[in-house]
């Protein structure tokens, strides 16, 4: 039976997208490549829901987060960072490595930050707010729309890690006043790993111009300069096959319709969670902040790793385990990107049999 990747990423890749990667290699300094790259740039604006530039780098999502720090700030800048899980912790760690002065809001795993907690902690000397939208270690979603509305017209930039949410959950970069929006190819965008995408508002570009941190390969301003050529290019050799694949994947999202994609994720997530609770299993996450991209299932008896292993060995279905203190105490099932009723039903049936 065909392997199913029901993880928080990498996710299943459609045959159409895989076929694009089988095409003959082309040179990246040609009109042929520039045409594909121009198409991808416009389609990225569509999924980011922005009129601003969206940069493409050969990187995982973590590279996009690191690049956001080194391009937008200077050593010693003060920022407010929110963590509700392992990936929020990672963003804070990156900021500290580069010498930022980080004020932290740490929320218990399984919950989300409230706007009031941010309002209480925000100071006039903060240069930015950094936050994870969809926390894949817990299956919780932060209220980035409400936060963006509060931060509008404030003298700071709003940076959102949307690595596991963009393309699965509605994110309106322009309407929600997000200045830097970072994601990656291997999750809801239905591509193999290897590409990072970063949307930049005009305010973010001003911050980039003021940044003195050392940077070379991940220089946002250099990336924009090459994007704005008459035939758009990348500063250095791009992941040509992956860029062609991403262009095809986002074409599929366009064909389905962005709101239809969000609705599909919502319907499948609710179906999955309902069936899980019907088996007598508990969700790890506060039900007020549940993600439509991933479900974290609590396993208080500590047999999460055994269930994860059996799902793969006996049913050829790959799910993720817990991280940090939750290791062995949960499984995390991704339902993002290229996912449908059959995949959900097959996964539910396998979980039912294993437990």
Where b means 16+ CB within 10 Å and e means fewer, 225-255 reads: ebbeeeebbbbeebbbbbbbbbbbbbbebee
Q: What is the pLDDT of residue 293?
A: 98
Q: What is the pLDDT along the chain (355 residues), one digit of tens a residue?
A: 899 999 999 999 999 999 999 999 999 999 999 999 999 999 999 999 999 999 999 999 999 999 999 999 999 999 999 999 999 999 999 999 999 999 999 999 999 999 999 999 999 999 999 999 999 999 999 999 999 999 999 999 999 999 999 999 999 999 999 999 999 999 999 999 999 999 999 999 999 999 999 999 999 999 999 999 999 999 999 999 999 999 999 999 999 999 999 999 999 999 999 999 999 999 999 999 999 999 999 998 889 999 999 999 999 999 999 999 999 999 999 999 999 999 999 999 999 999 9
Please choose, from the candidates 58, 56, 31, 28, the residue with its C-alpha nearest in 3D space to the C-alpha of residue 41: 56
Q: What is the pLDDT of residue 305?
A: 93
Domain assignments of the chain as residue spans, ordered by start: 4-10+258-354, 15-255
Find how far residue 13's CA is from the centre of its chain.
Answer: 16
Q: What is the pLDDT of residue 302?
A: 82
CATH class of the domain defined by 4-10+258-354: alpha beta
Where b means 16+ CB within 10 Å and e means fewer, 145-181 reads: bebbebbeeeebbbbbbbbbbbbbbbbebbebbbbbb
Q: What is the pLDDT of residue 174?
A: 98
Architecture of the domain defined by 15-255: 3-Layer(aba) Sandwich (3.40)
Q: What is the pLDDT of residue 301?
A: 82
Q: What is the pLDDT of residue 300?
A: 80
pTM: 0.97
Non-local CB neighbours of 271 within 8 Å, separated by 6+ positions: 341, 344
Q: Which backbone phi and psi does 101 adopt, to 5 degrees? A: -90, 105
Q: What is the pLDDT of residue 202?
A: 98
């Amino acid at each position: 039976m065909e392997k199913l990747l029901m993880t928080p990423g990498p996710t299943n890749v459609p045959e159409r997208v895989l076929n694009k990667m089988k095409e003959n290699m082309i040179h990246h300094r040609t009109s042929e490549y520039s045409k594909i790259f121009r198409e991808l740039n416009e389609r990225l604006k569509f999924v980011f829901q922005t009129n601003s530039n969206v940069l493409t780098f050969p990187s995982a999502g973590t590279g996009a987060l690191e690049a956001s720090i080194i391009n937008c700030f200077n050593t010693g800048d003060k920022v407010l960072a929110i963590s509700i899980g392992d990936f929020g912790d990672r963003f804070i760690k990156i900021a500290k490595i580069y010498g930022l002065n980080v004020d932290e809001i740490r929320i218990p795993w399984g919950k989300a930050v409230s706007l009031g907690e941010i309002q209480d902690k925000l100071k006039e000397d903060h240069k930015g707010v950094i936050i994870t939208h969809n926390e894949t270690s817990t299956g919780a979603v932060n209220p980035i729309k409400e936060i963006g509305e509060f931060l509008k017209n404030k003298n700071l930039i709003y940076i959102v890690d949307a690595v596991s949410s963009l393309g699965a959950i509605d994110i309106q970069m322009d309407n929600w006043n997000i200045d830097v929006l970072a994601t990656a190819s291997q999750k809801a965008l239905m591509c193999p790993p290897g590409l990072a995408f970063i949307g930049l508002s005009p305010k973010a570009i001003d911050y980039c111009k003021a940044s003195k941190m050392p940077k070379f390969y991940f220089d946002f301003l250099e990336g924009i300069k090459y994007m704005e050529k008459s035939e758009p290019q990348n500063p250095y050799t791009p992941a040509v096959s992956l860029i062609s694949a991403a262009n095809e994947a986002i074409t599929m999202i366009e064909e389905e319709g962005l709101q239809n994609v969000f609705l599909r994720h919502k319907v499948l997530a609710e179906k999955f969670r309902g069936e899980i609770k019907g088996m007598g299993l508990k969700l790890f996450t506060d039900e007020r902040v549940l993600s439509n991209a991933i479900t974290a299932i609590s396993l208080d008896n500590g047999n999460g790793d055994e269930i994860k292993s059996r799902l793969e060995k006996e049913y050829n279905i790959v799910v993720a385990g817990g991280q940090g203190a939750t290791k062995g105490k949960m499984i995390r099932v991704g339902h993002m990107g290229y996912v449908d009723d059959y995949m959900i039903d097959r996964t539910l049936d396998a979980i039912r049999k294993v437990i």
